[in-house]
Amino acid sequence: MATAKNAAKSRTAKKKPATKKKTLVIVESPAKAKTIEKYLGSSYTVKASMGHLIDLPKSRMAINVENNFEPEYITVRGRAKLLQELQKAAGNSAAVLLASDNDREGEAIAWHLHNAITQKNTGLSVSRISFNEITPQAIKEAIEKPSSIDDAKVNAQKARRVLDRLVGYNLSPLLWKKVKSGLSAGRVQSVALRLICEREKEVEAFVPEEYWSLDAEFRKQRKVFSAALINWNGEKANLKTEAEVNSIIEVLKGEEFKVTEIREVDKTVRPKPPFTTSMLQQTAANRLGWVSKKTMQVAQRLYEGVNVGKSRVGLITYMRTDSVRISNVALAEARSFISKTYPECLPEKPNFYSTSKTAQDAHEAIRPTYPSYTPEYVKPFLAKDEERLYSLIWERFISSQMKPAKTKTLSADISAGKALFRAAGTQVVEQGFFKALFLLAGKDERGGAFPPVSEGETLESPNFKSEQHWTQGPPRFTDATIVKTLEEKGIGRPSTYAPTISLLMDRYYVQRSNKQLVPTTLGKCICDMLVENFGDVVDTDFTASMETLLDEVEEKGREWADMIRMFYTPFKAKVDMVSQTLESQKGSFDEVTNEVCDKCGKPMLKKLGRFGYFLACSGFPACRNAKSIPVAKCPKCGGDVVERKSKKGRRKKFYGCAKYPECDFLTQFKPTAQNCPKCGWFLVEKSDKRSGRHKACINPDCSESK
């Protein structure tokens, strides 16, 4: 009876509808996946590929030179499980949308995923979507207009990858054989290293010269303003010594100081365009003191999305771009915001900016996705670094669509006997786009006027202020200036600037000192060898021309293999020749010292390692004793002062006693090989605007310490 009832129930039971398959969207990062998933409905699943899943192996060159330079791709080590999960998820989906970044690397990631997924799931619809910003509207529009993989862009990435692999995997073994194991050379990094080394030679060759300035400080209306001496005895003031300055002051005592001429110059200051990648890195370096790598890491977080209140949103557009172009929608939103917030600063027509002729112009400029999300509004939801970088981007974008500012520069010539002094100050007449600048505000935006004076007016006798200076030689490169130079010379692209600097640092070819990029002894050696034997490969013009050819592969469909062949044939012949003729420099960095190994009694050698010089036992490998090189004697306990690095943060370099923690002596300044003639403590290297580079005593109580 029960069985009959169950059978009846089974016949009358309603069939459950089949579960509708979802569309799978694959992006690069989990943060981006999290943001996009909130925009899409329940019909979509969003997963992250975590970057490249298929690439060239690290252990070998993997380029088939005999077969049109075809790369031998493999699944990246440790990524096989993730690739299988994505293939399985794709098989359970109605369709797949590949949403990696809209650049060459992103296109290559999409191409590899497309091949891997369709290989396992024949007949499955796999399409490409791209967007410049992570907003609901941009994602919706991208999904409505899926496309196919851009083969030209994939070929351009393939060509760059193959080119860099051929250079690196031919030059690096040559360095191992002739110089030192563990070294590397790359196509773009070697050119950047050459620029830094050549600048260092200019810095070292420069001899600073002393000069003096003389200002007259006047008081009027309870305000003090300064005028600089510009002419003496009818000629440009050129004061070499303090004695010259004092003699002029003596002559001027008792002279009448009269205003002889007043000039007004009106100036229109136009706003700057929105940020490109290089300009963002330069501005963040100059305003925030950031290295390029940090700037790009913070920008990546702002692009991929942050929680703002109850919603998650990508706050800025894609941060790898060489264009200053903005979309019509963004332009309209910016003008609407300005009309409500700064109505008097809205120009009649939009401001347009020209993009560099060498720019790819694949993406818009870097801008906020929503102008209404002011820095003040989003500040509670952002970390400090995120808020500061977002402020720079927001201010630069909004101000770019505002009216120019107008300033008035006043200068007054003040004569006294044989002397001519000049005071100058600037007043902001119309703020214009200055109103939107806070973190980006500079001297022009703040102005600096002096009290009003009139021609023929006699001023009270001034106080004189003299100051010693030293001529400044060519500055070393910083992150900002090397990025600017690379961009100007057409070397690399927005995505390569920060990695290039990081690679030079990681290889110990370059170090940072007071935010300046200084080549190490190892870096100089590598540079000299490459320039002498492969001058054309590490030439700026040649490297720029290769970038142009890569662009042509993407834009004009140039055959990538032909381009590689044109470069590789003469390059490989040169490598083979140098390998046979270049004398080995192995061991050339080793120096015998007077130090004795405290473990086996053999002499210690001064050796160059990955992180600089160190002392190692000459009995290696039987004895593996090694230690830091003493740079001075500790003034507290007589022990050795050695170079050390902080364990946290940026691992800044400092110098401390080797007997720490028994002795806590430390200094931030680099010791020299000289001792102070007055107190006997060691001298250190210091640098400031007043005295330039100079040596000073480490003893704070010594008169030679400044």
The two tokens of residue 88 are 């399985």
For residue 45, is it left (φ>0), alpha (ψ between -120 and 50) or beta?
beta
For residue 496, is it left (φ>0), alpha (ψ between -120 and 50) or beta?
alpha
Helix axis angle for 479-488 and 277-288, nearest 10°, is 160
The span from the CA of 256 to the CA of 347, in Å, is 49
The two tokens of residue 505 are 């640092």
Taking Cα atoms as reference points, which of 603, 639, 642, 634 lies closest to residue 619?
Answer: 603
Kind and range of the H or E element at 306? strand 306-308
Residues 6+ apart with CB under 8 A from 83: 53, 54, 75, 116
The span from the CA of 233 to the CA of 111, in Å, is 74
Mark whether 342 is an active-site residue. Answer: no
C-beta separation of 143 from 135 below 8 A: no
Task: With H, G, I as helix, E, B as strand and everything else as coil, classify residue 493.
Answer: coil
Taking Cα atoms as reference points, which of 368, 402, 371 lies closest to residue 271?
Answer: 402
The span from the CA of 343 to the CA of 412, in Å, is 36
Q: What share of the chain is helix, strand, coil (3-state, %, to 5)?
A: 35, 25, 40
Q: Which of 39, 44, 303, 318 is catalytic?
A: 318
Which position has the token pair 């060509």? 159
The span from the CA of 460 to the CA of 642, in Å, is 57
The residues carrying an active-site annotation are 318
